[in-house]
Amino acid sequence: MYLTASRKPPSRKGSMHDVPNDLMKHIHELEEMFTIHTPKLLEIVSKFQEELVKGLSVAGGSIPMNPTWVIGYPTGDETGTYLALDMGGTNLRVCEVELPEEKGQYDIYQSKYRLPEEIKSGTGDQLFDYIAECVKQFLIANHECEDIKDLKELHLGFTFSYPCEQNAIDHGILQRWTKGFDIEGVEGHDVVPMFEAALERKGVPIKITALVNDTTGTLIASAYTDNTTRIGCIFGTGCNAAYMETIGCIPKLAHMNLDPNLEIAINCEWGAFDNEHFVLPRTPYDRHIDESSPRPGQQTFEKMVAGLYLGEIFRLALVDLYSNPDVKIFEKQDISALQLEYSLDSSFLAEIESDPWENLMETHALFEKKLKIDTTEPERKLIRRLAELIGTRAARLSACGVAAICKMKNIESCHVGADGSVFNKYPNFQERGAKALREIFGWGKTVRNDPIQIVPSEDGSGVGAALIAALTMKRIRKGIHAGVNVKRKNSLIPPIP
């Protein structure tokens, strides 16, 4: 009988021995440009923590630190059937969530709808009419009814993942569009009545019980199934974090004379960190993206770490190298496809980083198919290294935000529930973020398990939104009305049987 030792699948070594010296020189320059060493991480975390605290103050700061009026964590005992609507950067998802008697369990039925590109730059009425029609079609299909007006009125948690000022759980004034949206007539307005008017036009019997940010939903959904969760994060098309803060630690809410011991979820909107450009190590490509964006000077942090921008940073760097007479890359080739703005997204970089072959032949095929560029092996090694540098920088910067919240709240051990396409699908993103946290907190090899771990979350924008609707109904019935729109309070709550 023979025993064979199990082996890991072969991995690419990434040798650079055949890369010409002049190309290696430019690879080293890129490494210098994109690498963030431990001292810089610590400097960023310190400034990040300072800005988080400032955002809770009366004067405020660049990070909004928006109170969401989600009061307290779920207990796992929530029950009932609720709708959730998730409006992300590219898709719309309608969900029906059943919370059974079993603690911490749920069932979900859902359908996805693509958000047409023309709607992203249209009008508010066009946007909300489209969403209302999707909800209507979902209800008709899911309940097999001829007339949805016959349905029992359902309560909905609306995941609206854009910066909003929330004076109530069912009220949200859009501060600004992010993720490439620029819809007129919505910024500066409460999105709830706009959406409710569209639902009424479509004859849909729904009450919007809670306006939810996807990050807050991620926090609540993760805490529902894992009570060690203290932070929720999104690393996807955009980036953000949410956590629970005691009301007594929020000076800008002091005038409301609320119970100082109540815990309220804070939607950080940390994509706006360092809009003043004090500490983040921006490259010329980051500056170009900012200056040519619809909102120059805003969302500085997001533009360096979010999936929407990673491919564009990569593209700009390659175009810059091509136009440099000292760099021999893509010689005598037509790079017109590469010159199209935002033609590459983070999935393109993910494919490059996933290429297992030493000669990077999958990357060769990718460039040929997508960009009509025939690459040499040394060029592909530069391409691979550039993708690694951009992806690693994004993960390390993301870890800075997590560390800043933990330091501010004196959290020594917890789970951070994370969701989003970059976190879930980008190769090595999770490992790179974990390594950065070890450097920031100085955990040595003697620490067997990292005390603070960023782990895959539950479905925040679906289950989380439904849970928040359930939590809102539950607390109002208990007489906790903080952050509930007074004009709508009575219409939200049916009589207690």
What single DSSP character describes residue 123? B
CATH superfamily of 72-226+459-478: ATPase, nucleotide binding domain (3.30.420.40)
Where do the H-state alpha helices sit in 214-336? 214-225, 284-291, 302-305, 307-323
Q: What is the pLDDT of residue 487?
A: 54
CA distances from 481 to 79, 166, 168, 329 (A): 20, 14, 10, 63
Q: What is the pLDDT of residue 410?
A: 97
Where do the H-state alpha helices sit in 35-155? 38-56, 124-143
What does the alpha-carbon distance between residue 41 and residue 442 come to, in Å, rounded to a whole number?
12
Q: What is the pLDDT of residue 447?
A: 76
Q: Fill in the amino acid letter for 45.
A: V
List residues with catalytic annotation.
161, 176, 214
CA distances from 147 to 82, 109, 136 (A): 19, 20, 10
Residues pairing with 207 in the sheet: 155
Q: What is the pLDDT of residue 169?
A: 86
What does the alpha-carbon distance between residue 217 and residue 229 come to, in Å, rounded to a whole number?
12
What does the alpha-carbon distance between residue 250 and residue 56 come to, in Å, rounded to a whole number?
5
Q: H or E element: which one contains 157?
A: strand 154-160
Q: Are strands 263-267 and 66-71 parallel, antiparallel or unpaired?
A: antiparallel
Q: What is the pLDDT of residue 12?
A: 56
Q: What is the pLDDT of residue 146?
A: 66
Q: What is the pLDDT of residue 152?
A: 76
Where do the H-state alpha helices sit in 88-236? 124-143, 191-202, 214-225
What does the alpha-carbon distance between residue 93 and residue 159 come to, in Å, rounded to a whole number?
10
pLDDT tens across 347-362, in order? 999 999 999 999 999 9
What single DSSP character describes residue 200? H
What does the alpha-carbon distance between residue 99 and residue 111 come to, in Å, rounded to a whole number?
18
Q: What is the pLDDT of residue 14?
A: 67
Predicted TM-score (pTM) of this structure: 0.87
Helices (H) then strands (E): counts for the chain = 15, 13
Whole-angstrom distance between the N-terminal and C-terminal Cα of the chain?
A: 70
Residues of the chain with pLDDT under 70: 1-14, 145-146, 150, 486-497
Q: What is the pLDDT of residue 489?
A: 45
CB 393 within 8 A of CB 432: no
Which residue do the tokens 């080739």 mark? 333
Q: What is the pLDDT of residue 445?
A: 76
Dihedral (Cα; 210, 215, 217, 220), 10-degree rounding? -120
Q: What is the pLDDT of residue 497?
A: 32
CB 62 within 8 A of CB 75: no
Residues pairing with 109 in the sheet: 96
What does the alpha-carbon distance between residue 385 and residue 269 come to, in Å, rounded to a whole number?
31
Strands (E), 18-153: 66-71, 80-87, 91-99, 107-114
